[in-house]
Structure formats: C-alpha cells, structure tokens
Chains A and B, each alone.
Chain A
Amino acid sequence: MSVLELYSPTDLNDALRFIEHDHRNLAIIASGTDLLPRMRRRQVSPSILVDISSFTEDLRYIRQSDGTIRLGALTTVTDLLDSPMFYGKLSIIREAAKLFGAPQVRNVATVGGNVCSAASSEDLIPVFMALDANLKLVSAGGNRTIPLKDFIVGKRKTAMKPSEMLAEVSFSPPGERGWTAYEKLGRRNMLILAMVNEALSLTLENDLHTIRTARVALNRVSGKIPALAVKTSDFLEGKRVTDQTIAQAQKVLASELSLTSDFRGSGEYRTEVAQVYLKRLMERCTRQIGGGS
C-alpha cells in the first residue's frame, strides 16, 4: 500500500473543512473493510486518508422520529443486528445484516461505507433502495438530501461531491398492508459476496389484492450497478396479485436486467435466480400482509 498520509480530524466540522480545501487524491476512511483491500489490490491509490472513525457521537445512531428511521453513517452492521427496530415489517434489514460478510466485518463495517462504496457487493444498498431511502450529505457549505436511487450513478460512482460526506441514511417502514423481504444468493451461505441480492417492498390496496406500490431492487440491474428495477416495479403497481401477474413480472424483470458474467456466476444464471427470487419475495410479502388470491 502506498498511503502517504492519514489525517485524523478533531471533529466533524474539521473534517468537512479539510475535505473542502484539500484537493489531493483523498479518501474518507471509516472502518476500512472495503477501502483497505481495494488499496492493497491497487484498485485505488489515495494519497491521503481522512479518518472519520472516531466521530461515533455524531454519526453512530439508530433513531426513529415521526415514522422515519435514521441511521448515522457510522452505524455498524452489528448495531443493526443488535437493534430491536428491525423486526416485523423491517426485518429486511436484519435479514441482510445477518448474511453480511463475517462477524469480524459486521462488527466494524458501517452503513455509510456500504452505501458510499456503491458496488454490487454492498448488501445493504438494494435493501435501502427498496425502502426508498434518502441520504443526508453534509459539507462545510451546507447540507442536502438526495434519494439513494439518484445517488448511485455508476459502478462505484456516486453523485457526492469531493467536499461532501454522507452523514445519514433515512427511510420509512412500509405503511399499512405493506411488507418487505430480502433474498441473497452466494456460492455458500456465509462469508460470501452476493451473486444475486434482491429486495422487495410491497404495499397492497384496501382490497388486499391490488398492488399499491412495489419497489424491486437488486445488486445488479445493468452491468454491475445496484439499482431499482424500475420497469418491473412500475409493471407491478396497480396489478392484482395473481400467479399470472407474477409470471409476467418475472418476464419484465428478465428483459430489464442486462447482467454480465464473472467468476461468481454467469449473467444468464443471475437473471434466472433474480426471477425466482421475485416470485419468492412477492409470495413472502403477500403472505405476511394477508392478501393475494
């Protein structure tokens, strides 16, 4: 590794002032579970690291207010598992956290790091996308909020400016007649990066048959970019939950995905699995809501 320097700011404001004025090849480091291996493989070669890992007072929290759940960027995956918040309608977070990396990684890996890495290997991104999560970006010049789906603009590319930092991920649990579900496939059950990672948030109308909202998100939709499957989600909305609807939605999903092959699996296989998972997720959510036919 050829790191030249590590800067440990005294507080968040110091960090924001620093990243606003320092224009070297800079990377923000929290736990480093994604950054350090990438530096080792020379996929990135920052000349200075800004260490934000000590700002736990400001950035490590799980809060709920007015129905919105707010996760500080330094919240660890183990924090998510330890929280009483992610059962029932939000057990999707627990499901993803349980299958995330290894215990040693979960103990330090952060929500913010997962989101900012913007890669198909980041298990929490499809989950947050299905929940229509918003991100709070902070900078010395002020704050802004951006939907996660607009934040990820490419493989490991985000809409974040060099002077900005992610402070918070927020989302609302699905409302009445709503549920969420998650599926992950790797080559083994644990300690594995996903081949397919799919999340669904579904709400039904009063009749318990018609789909009010659907959000299907995957670790890869086009190429290696995590995203909402917009066409599939749109197709489902307004339809009645029937075997036929699900079968049609599977076809829409297959046409929407354009997946490449790599050592983890072929594009064809991933597409097949994504369709099977869509059916499974639809059935799981519908059963929990108590609807369907």
Chain B
Amino acid sequence: MVKQAVTISVNGTEHPIQVDAADRLIDVLRDQLNLKSVKEGCSTGDCGICAVVVDGKLVNSCLMLAAQCDGRRVATLEGLLEDPTMKRMQGSFIANNAAQCGFCTPAMLMAAWDLARHSPEPSNEEIKVAISGILCRCTGYYQIIDSVREGCGRGGR
C-alpha cells in the first residue's frame, strides 16, 4: 500500500496525515484523531451514525475516502461543544430524554445541528426528514423529534 499525504481541517485544526487509499474518513477521525463521537454502525450508509459535516454538508464518514477529503473542512461533535446552537440542542436532548442507549446520539445531534442552522423553526415533517438518515436502534424517535424541535428554537429554552 502506498501512503498518501493529505491535509484535512478537522474542527478548525489542520491535520497533515498519511492515509492508505482504502482509509475512509471515519477511520482517520476515530483511529488517528481519536474522535470517538463518530460511531461505526453498518459501514454501508444505511444507519448514518457516522454522520459528520464536511464543507457544510452532513455526510456519512463511512462512505467517504479520507484521501478524497484533502483540503476539506470536517466538523464532528467534539468541535461543536461550545457552539451555542449545539449547546441548546444538547440541553434539549437531555431535558427530553432523547438518549436511550446513546449510540446514535452524536449523529442525531449533528443532523439536528445541521437542520437548526438552515431552519430555525422546522415543522415535525422537516425534522423527520432531517433525521431520516440516522437509525435509532432503540426506536426512541418521538423524544428525539421533540428535542430537535425545541433545540431549534421554537419553544426553546
């Protein structure tokens, strides 16, 4: 395997790293940068719990090669802990008991944060679409939908 040098901006810091052609973004985030909020579930794009934001778009990090992220900006939950929108969203998730086993929670928060940036007062239908790519294995969707609605601002705390 030939290693390739890439520079990926993760949570605001430039990381020059060596990657194999087969390394996916999730491999680099978890194994090289120790960002464990990014979970590996199905590895085939069906469950979405590896969701991160790349260049402003929510994507599945298991479906993206690290080498293709050269020069791109990646945001994970770890980098958003002080972000006001994310703080409000996390508070809302806690207040509404939106986390059961917690496995999907980081990805749900990323999807919710992405929605909140574009749509401050989403309808339930918009919320359902926004989180439709993330599988909650506990099926606790109602608490999540309530949390996202409140976290987005309407009726927010």
Contact = CB atoms under 8 A, between A and B. Distances in A.
Interface of A: 1-6, 8, 29, 31-33, 36-37, 40-41, 49, 51, 53, 78, 101-105, 107-108, 190-191
Contacts, number: 90
Given A33-B45, A40-B44, A103-B129, A4 B64 contact: no
A189 B74 CA distance: 30
The 10 closest A-B pairs by CB, nearest first: A102-B133, A6-B21, A37-B44, A190-B132, A3-B22, A107-B57, A1-B22, A3-B21, A104-B60, A104-B133
Given A40-B43, A105-B63, A6 B129 contact: no
A37 B63 contact: yes
Interface bin, chain B: 20 to 34
Interface of B: 1-2, 4, 20-22, 24, 43-46, 48, 51, 57-60, 62-65, 67-68, 70, 111, 128-130, 132-135
A32 B62 CA distance: 10
A41 B44 CA distance: 9
B65 A32 contact: yes
A33 B70 CA distance: 18
B62 to A, nearest CB: 8
B43 A104 contact: no
Given A1-B22, A4-B21, A6-B21, A102 B68 contact: no
19 contacts: A2-B22, A3-B21, A4-B21, A6-B4, A29-B65, A32-B68, A36-B62, A37-B44, A40-B44, A41-B44, A102-B60, A103-B58, A103-B133, A104-B51, A105-B133, A108-B59, A190-B129, A190-B133, A191-B135
